[in-house]
């Protein structure tokens, strides 16, 4: 029987991200990434396309970011838990090198496109954008100067990766519990002393608890494995929880500036974050793998979710402009027309993301991994970007 990797090579269509074989097949994570990127794209489209005088009524877009963070915490922690490496600088660098290859090259591609777009529009680009190119927080707190507006999430992702890498210098066997302890302690200190300063607002931000939630899930999964019935219950709880949070508890931080000024972020972590934990835990423990086209499409969207996420600001700008140029007179009058136009733009975002993944991100990943790793990384359609996979592949 042909493997997924060989089938993708023959067909020319890449069906999964290059991931460590020890992570195994967890396709439900890719489906959850697809859900997350659709939520984020839909929320951004809804801000641009709406009938005159209307306001968004039921927006779950914020929930997509929380799903990404919990998935990243789970995947990276599970990789460490299943690592056979010995502690030390070499293990830490090998781990971090894979994260750098996963995150930066395709991110820099979209940074370059965005910079060209800004220069074409005569938008001045100064040194204030330099930290964002390397996914570092801006020293000009509370302002965050980002070329790719949604890249603020990657600043937290990279801090999480750096921290987990440093811990592996001292220990690998206990790296995940130590990680959880450090994140919880840092957040607690930040709350107690009300620290709101450049850099510290990242390393002590309550949003980091969502990575800790994912790490706790990795420990549970490593100990108990798949639990189908419990997984189904948790999926239902996550969905219901997200709806209830939106209806009754949605007063937490939403925008980038609210996150970086610590505006109600603790509330968000313990509402949206816990709902995301329940959903991701359910998907992981249940781990369904139905063989139908809808599931395969969702997995493919999850594979390309990082590209779609990075591409969305530019695609939304030009896609929305094109759709409004054709259907604008209907949008301002009809809720149904606005919904159809939003759907069209969201599909364009996902389509551009898939094309970017197929022809830019995936080939780039394979070449860089072959260049910088002595052993090739097996391909798996499971665990992205971003993400990993991110959450993002094995991110």
Domain annotation covers residue 8: no
Task: Provide the number of structural domains found in the chain.
Answer: 1
The DSSP bridge partners found for residue 390 are 385, 392
- Count Cβ atoms below 10 Å from residue 119 Cβ, excluding itself: 11
The token pair that represents 288 in the structure block: 């369904």
Backbone angles phi, psi at 15, to 5 degrees: -105, 5
Mean pLDDT of 141-152: 91
> What pLDDT score was predicted for residue 52?
57
Lowest mean pLDDT among 319-328, 340-349, 354-363: 319-328
Residue 395 resides in a domain: no
- pLDDT higher for 94 or 58? 94
pLDDT bin (cut points 50, 70, 90) of residue 386 is very low
Q: Who wins on pLDDT, 84 or 297?
A: 297
- Tell me, yes or no, whether 46 lies in a domain: yes
Question: 55 is in which domain, residue-wise?
Answer: 23-390
Instruction: Indicate whether 151 belongs to any domain.
Output: yes
Beta carbons within 8 Å of 353's beta carbon, 6+ residues apart: 37, 301, 304, 305, 307, 308, 309, 311, 312
Residue 13 lies in a domain: no
How high is the pLDDT of residue 156? 97
Number of neighbours of residue 48 by Cβ within 10 angstroms: 16
Please tell me whether the overall predicted TM-score, pTM, comes out greater than 0.95 for this model: no
Q: Is the pLDDT reported for residue 285 higher than 70?
A: yes
Helix (H, G, I), strand (E, B) or coil at 379: strand
Phi, psi values for residue 392, rounded to 5°: 120, 120
Pairing label, strands 379-380, 17-18:
antiparallel
Share of the chain above pLDDT 70, in %: 86
H/E element, 210: helix 209-224
Predicted confidence band at 4 (pLDDT cuts at 50, 70, 90)? very low
Q: Which of 113-117, 320-324, 327-331 shows the lowest mean pLDDT across its residues? A: 327-331
pLDDT at residue number 117: 93
- Tell me what the mean pLDDT of segment 361-376 comes to: 83
Bridge-partner residues for 386, per DSSP? 391
Provide CB contacts within 8 A for 273, sequence distance 6+: 66, 69, 70, 207, 209, 210, 213
- What confidence tier does 339 reach under pLDDT thresholds 50, 70, 90? confident
pLDDT at 54: 61
| Residue 286 forms part of a structural domain | yes
Q: Is the pLDDT of residue 383 over 50?
A: no
CA 199 to the chain's CA centroid: 21
User: Could you tell me the pLDDT band of residue 6, with boundaries at 50, 70 and 90?
Assistant: very low
């Amino acid at each position: 029987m042909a493997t997924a990797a060989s089938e993708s090579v023959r067909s020319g269509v890449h069906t999964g991200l290059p991931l460590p074989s020890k992570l195994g097949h967890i396709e439900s994570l890719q489906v959850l990434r697809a859900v997350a990127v659709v939520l984020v794209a839909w929320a951004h489209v809804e801000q641009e396309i709406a009938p005159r005088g209307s306001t968004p009524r039921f927006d779950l877009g914020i929930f997509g970011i929380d799903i990404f963070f919990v998935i990243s915490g789970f995947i990276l922690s599970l990789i460490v838990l299943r690592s056979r490496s010995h502690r030390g600088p070499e293990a830490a660098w090998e781990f971090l090198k894979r994260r750098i290859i996963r995150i930066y090259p395709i991110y820099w591609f979209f940074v370059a496109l965005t910079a060209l777009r800004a220069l074409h529009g005569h938008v001045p680009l100064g040194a204030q954008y330099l930290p964002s190119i390397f996914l570092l927080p801006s020293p000009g707190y509370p302002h965050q100067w980002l070329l790719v507006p949604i890249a603020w999430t990657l600043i937290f992702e990279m801090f999480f990766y750096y921290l987990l890498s440093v811990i592996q210098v001292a220990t690998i066997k206990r790296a995940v519990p130590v990680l959880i302890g450090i994140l919880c302690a840092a957040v607690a200190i930040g709350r107690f002393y009300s620290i709101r300063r450049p850099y510290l607002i990242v390393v002590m931000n309550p949003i980091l608890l969502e990575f800790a939630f994912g790490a706790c899930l990795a420990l549970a999964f490593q100990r108990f494995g798949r639990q189908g019935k419990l997984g189904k219950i948790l999926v239902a709880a996550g969905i219901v929880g997200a709806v209830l949070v939106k209806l009754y508890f949605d007063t937490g931080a939403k925008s980038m500036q609210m996150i970086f000024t610590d505006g109600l972020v603790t509330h968000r972590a313990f509402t949206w974050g816990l709902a995301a934990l329940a959903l991701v835990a359910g998907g992981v423990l249940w781990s369904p793998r139905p063989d139908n086209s809808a599931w395969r499409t969702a997995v493919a969207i999850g594979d390309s979710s990082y590209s779609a996420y990075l591409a969305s600001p530019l695609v939304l700008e030009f896609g929305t402009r094109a759709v409004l140029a054709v259907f604008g007179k209907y949008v301002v009058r009809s809720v149904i027309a606005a919904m159809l136009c939003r759907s069209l733009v969201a599909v364009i975002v996902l389509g551009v993301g898939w094309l970017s993944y197929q022809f830019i991100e995936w080939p780039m990943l394979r070449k860089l991994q072959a260049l910088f790793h002595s052993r090739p990384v097996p391909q798996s359609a499971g665990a992205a970007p971003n993400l990993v996979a991110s959450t993002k592949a094995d991110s």
